[in-house]
Amino acid sequence: MGSTVLSLRIDGELLDRLRSHAAKRGMSVQDYVVRTLIREDFDERFKTAVDETERFYGAADGTADDEAAGPTAASPRDHVRPSAGIA
């Protein structure tokens, strides 16, 4: 994978803060910004994956998005779990 140059014009105060954050981690400003962008991109992709999984399997509280459609939609709560009532 190749690399491409990205040129930014940023406020001097922001650059000073970036330098400070990068220095605390022993990094260059460029490495710090790239790492931050990669982390943000991962967080976005992870959230999207979680949202898609919840839509597919239903929300964490046991409700599916299609429950809002009305009483005709099948609800996970309408089903009895195999372990229900077994001591």
pLDDT in tens, 1-17: 788 888 989 999 999 99
pLDDT in tens, 35-65: 999 999 889 999 999 999 999 887 665 555 5
CA dist 20 and 26 (Å) reads 10
CA dist 31 and 29 (Å) reads 6
The reported pTM is 0.54
CA dist 77 and 58 (Å) reads 11
- CB of 57 closer than 8 Å to CB of 72: no
CA dist 63 and 77 (Å) reads 8
